[in-house]
Amino acid sequence: MMTRRTATLNSLAAITSILVGRPAFAAPSRAMRLLDTDNDGTVDLDEAKKAASTLFDKLDRDHDGTLDRRELRGRLSAAEFAAADPDKERNAIEG
């Protein structure tokens, strides 16, 4: 069973991958610039949530409050999608 912390970290990694267009670990400086809006050298929970919410709203083209495979096509690998959808109930990531 995945803990809430692990699910949150996996989701943040997936969001960062979407933002930078490649795996999060491949471009940490770009990810940091995008997420660290107050430029203090850290990403706090509020900054991560704001970035996630902004991106989620942009990607949710049908405005149904979920991101499905179609809306995420080409942005996440199957493994990244599975990590961000731990309940597997709707085959979508809920916002």
The pLDDT tens digits of the residues spanning 24-52 come to: 544 457 777 878 889 888 888 888 888 88
Q: Is 23 helix (H, G, I), strand (E, B) or coil?
A: coil
Q: Which of 13, 37, 46, 38 is nearest to 27 (CA)?
A: 13
Q: Which of 73, 74, 54, 65 is nearest to 93 (CA)?
A: 65
Q: What pLDDT shows up at residue 62?
A: 93
